[in-house]
Amino acid sequence: MFAKVIKDECIGCGLCEQICPEVFSMDDDGTAVAIAEEIPSECEGCAEEAAESCPTNAIEIE
């Protein structure tokens, strides 16, 4: 599985980092970034939860 943050849609709320810090981190520009593009298997659950919780649907999981 891969995670990607669509920067143009991210409002920088920080929720994804709170839910799944192994995969998402806040970048210098105030938006989130996927620090582990290929999601470790033990983090797939929280990565999906972060994507579902994102208020602007800025997270893509493939």
Is 3 a binding residue for ligand SF4 by CB under 6 A? The answer is: no
Q: 41 or 50: whose CB is closer to ligand SF4? A: 50
Cα atoms in the 13 Å half-sphere on the side-chain side of 53: 15
Q: In terms of DSSP bridges, do strands 24-26 and 32-34 run parallel, antiparallel, or are they unpaired?
A: antiparallel
Q: Which one of 3, 16, 43, 47 is in contact with ligand SF4 (CB under 6 A)?
A: 16
| CB neighbour list of residue 40: distance below 8 Å, 6 or more residues apart | 22
Q: Does 20 bind ligand SF4 (CB under 6 A)?
A: no
Give the residues lining the site for ligand SF4 (CB under 6 A): 5, 10-16, 31-32, 54-56, 58-59
